[in-house]
Amino acid sequence: MNIMNTYPHLSCITIHGDNAFSVNFAGDLDYLALLDCDRMLYNFRAAFGEAPGCEPIGGWEAPDGLLRGHSTGHFLSALALAYSSSGNTLYKDKLDRMIAELRRLQRKSKGIPHEFVTVCTPDDCAQDKWSRDPSVWGEGFLSAYSPDQFALLEQFTPYAKIWAPYYTLHKLLAGLLEAFERTGNETALDIAAGIGRWVIDRLSALTPEHRAKMWKMYIAGEFGGMNESLARLAFLTGDKSFLDGAKMFDNPNIFPGLADGTDTIRHLHANQHIPQIMGALLEYRASGDKTYLRIAENFFDIVTKHHLYAIGGVGQGEFFREPDHQAEFIKEDTNCETCATYNLIKIARELYSLDPERADYMDYIERALFNHILASRHPESTGTMHNGVTYMLPIGPGAEKQYSDDYHSFTCCHGTGMENHVKYGDCIYYIKDKTVYVNQYIPSSLSSDDVFMTIDIPFPASCGKITIFTHRDAVIKFRIPAWCRNNPFSGTSVQGRYAVIGCRCGETVTVDVNFEYAARWEFLSGGTTAALLYGPFVMVTCDPSQEFLHLPADTEFAASFENNKLTVCGAGRIFRPMYDVHDERYHTYFIVE
C-alpha cells in the first residue's frame, strides 16, 4: 500500500446500490450536465463590458445582484468533483471551457490593485456609478462586478448597500483551486494566484485595525474562507506571500477567544464565521503554528457540544444563538442553514486528517451527512428543478422543506448544493501508512493501488458485509459509531473507537456487520425537547400541526425495513428518516415527558 496519509481520490470510489445516496448523486450529475456555461458566465462578461449573448440567471445571481458570481465558483468546484467522482469527461470539458474564458477576462484587468479608487461613497453607491474600465481595476482582478464593492467595504459601507465582496471572491478562488487539485488544470491555479496577488496588494494598503473593523461588519465584511484559499495557494505554490495574505483575514474579533476555549461566536452570523475556521486549519498546515489548530479544535468542540441540533445543523435565522439554549430557538423553517453544515463537515474532515483516531469527527460527519446533507435534496426532478436543494433544512413543528429550481432561485445553499451530492465518497475511507480507516457506511467500493474494498450494507439497513482484498499486508480499522452498543464487526478486536482486523497480501477477507439499530431520545440541554433517533437516523413524523407534539418518554418503538425504506412506529405514529420526507409537513422535535 502506498505510504501516505490521505483521503483516496474520488476516482477510486464508486457509490453503488439503489438508495438515497445513488439517487442524489445521479440527479446532481444530471443537473451539472444541464447547466449552461454561458449563463454561468453571463455576469462576468457583462462586468468586463462584453455582450453576454444569453439569458441571465435569477436569485442572487441576477445581473443587479450584489453577490453575483459566487455560484460560478461553486459550479467550478462541482464540475471538478463531478469529473473526479464519475470519470465522465463531459464535466472536465465544461470545467476547462469555463476556466479558459475566465482567464481571458482576467487578462483584461490592468493596473496596480491598491490604486483603484471608486467614485462612490457609502451614501452614494448606485451600481450605475461603478467603474466600467478594467484597465484600472488592478492586474489579476476577476469578478462578476467591478472592484467598487471592495473599495466601498474599505469605506465601511454596510450591508445591503454592498454584499460580501470577499465572500464572492472566495467562492471563485475555491472553485479554481478545486479544479487544479482534482483535475490538474494549471490555468486554474494561475488565475487563482493572480486573484490572490490582487487581494494581497489591496489589503496591504490598509492597517490591521482597518481590516479588523471590516471583518467585524455584519455580512458586508463576510469573507467566506479567503484565509483558507490563500493558505492553500501558499501550500500549492510554495510562495509564502500567500500565507501572509491569509493572515490578513485572521479575525481578531473571534480568533483569540477561541484559541483560549472561549465561545466568541454566540449571537454571530453562523456561516459568516464557520469558513474562517477552515481557513485557520489551512493556515496551521501552511505555517505549523498550533494556535490555529487550537482555534479550530476549540471552535468545533463549542459548536458540537453547545450549538448543535440533531441533524447536525446549527443556528436560527442564520445566527448562532445562546449556547445550550437550542430548544428556545426552534422556529418553523428558520433553523439549520445548509451551507453552515457543508462547512462544518469540511472542518471535521480536515481535523480528522490530522488525527485519524478521533472517530468523534467522523461521528459528526455521519450525523450531518445522513440527516442534513442527504435530506437537503429533493430526489425527484421536474422540467424546471433537476437539483432542488434546501436553503434552511427546517426542524420546527409542522415545517416543510422548500427547494431551489434550475436557474431562478440561486442562493448560497444552491451553490453548495451543486457540490454536496457529487462528493459523498469524500469521507468514507482514509489511508494512513498501511492502515485503511473505514468511517462512513455508505454502499460503495474502494479501488486503490493496493486495496480493494466493498461496503455491501444496503442503505439504510443495519446488516451486511464488507469485503477486502489487498496486495500487501494491511490493517483495516472500522469506526464503531458512537450510538452503537456493541462491536458490530465480526472477527475483529477493538482498539479505542475502532474495530480492527489484519489482512495479509493476496487474501480476501469478509467481515459481517450487524449494527443493531435501536430507538433513543436525544434531548436538547436542560429540558424536555427531544428528537427521535434510530441508529444514525433522525426520525420525523408527518403532521401539519405547527405546535409541538407531546410524546411519552417511555414510548416503545418497532421498526421495519422493506423495499429500501425504513419506518419506525410508536405512540400511534409512523416515523421516517429525515432524508425520506419531502413535500409534506413534519415534526423533528417533540416535547417528551
Q: From CA 489, how far away is CA 513, in angstroms rounded? A: 5
Burial tier of 111 (Cβ tally within 10 Å: 0-12, 13-18, 19+)? middle
Give the C-alpha separation, 489 to 323, whole Å: 37
Residue type, 570: G
* Spatial separation of the C-alpha atoms in residues 180 and 174, rounded to whole Å: 10
For the chain, what is the largest distance between any 2 Cα atoms, rounded to a whole number of angstroms? Answer: 72
Peptide bond into 160 cis (omega under 30): yes
d(CA 42, CA 44): 6
Reference 455, options 466, 446, 440, 447; nearest CA is: 466
Residue 229 CA, distance from chain mean position: 15
Q: What pLDDT does residue 541 have?
A: 98
DSSP states along 230-242: HHHHHHHH--THH
pTM comes to 0.98
Sign, CA torsion 28/31/37/43: negative
Amino acid 2: pLDDT: 35
Rounded-to-integer distance, Cα 318 and Cα 339, Å:
10
572, with CB counted inside 10 A (0-12, 13-18, 19+), is: exposed
Per-residue pLDDT of the chain (593 residues; tens, 9 = 90+): 333 469 999 999 999 999 999 999 999 999 999 999 999 999 999 999 999 999 999 999 999 999 999 999 999 999 999 999 999 999 999 999 999 999 999 999 999 999 999 999 999 999 999 999 999 999 999 999 999 999 999 999 999 999 999 999 999 999 999 999 999 999 999 999 999 999 999 999 999 999 999 999 999 999 999 999 999 999 999 999 999 999 999 999 999 999 999 999 999 999 999 999 999 999 999 999 999 999 999 999 999 999 999 999 999 999 999 999 999 999 989 999 999 999 999 999 999 999 999 999 999 999 999 999 999 999 999 999 999 999 999 999 999 999 999 999 999 999 999 999 999 999 999 999 999 999 999 999 999 989 999 999 999 999 999 999 999 999 999 999 999 999 999 999 999 999 999 999 999 999 999 999 999 999 999 899 999 999 999 999 999 999 999 999 999 999 999 988 999 999 999 999 999 999 999 999 999 99
**Quick count: other Cβ atoms within 10 Å of Cβ 322?**
13
**Cell 485572521 appears where?**
250
DSSP SS3 for 23: helix
What fold, for 430-514?
Immunoglobulin-like (2.60.40)
**Cell 467603474, residue located:** 131
Q: Residue 590 carries which DSSP code?
A: E
- With CA atoms as reference, report the closest residue to 456 among 490, 464, 508, 436: 464
462 and 537 in contact (C-beta within 8 Å)?
Answer: no
How confident is the model at residue 515, as a pLDDT? 97
- Residues 438 and 210: their CA atoms lie apart, in Å, by 46
CA 237 vs CA 230, 247, 279, 345: distances in Å: 10, 17, 17, 26
**Alpha-helical regions (H) of 107-250:** 148-154, 165-183, 186-204, 208-215, 226-237, 241-247
Q: Tell me, what's the pLDDT at 5? A: 66
| Residue 119 buriedness (CB in 10 A; 0-12 / 13-18 / 19+) | exposed
What 3-state class would DSSP assign to 432? Answer: strand
* Other Cβ atoms closer than 10 A to 434: 16
Task: Answer yes or no: are the C-beta atoms of 239 and 181 closer than 8 Å.
Answer: no
SS3 377: strand
Taking alpha carbons only, the member of 439, 398, 442 closest to residue 17 is 442
What does the domain layout of the chain look like in residue ranges? Answer: 430-514, 519-592
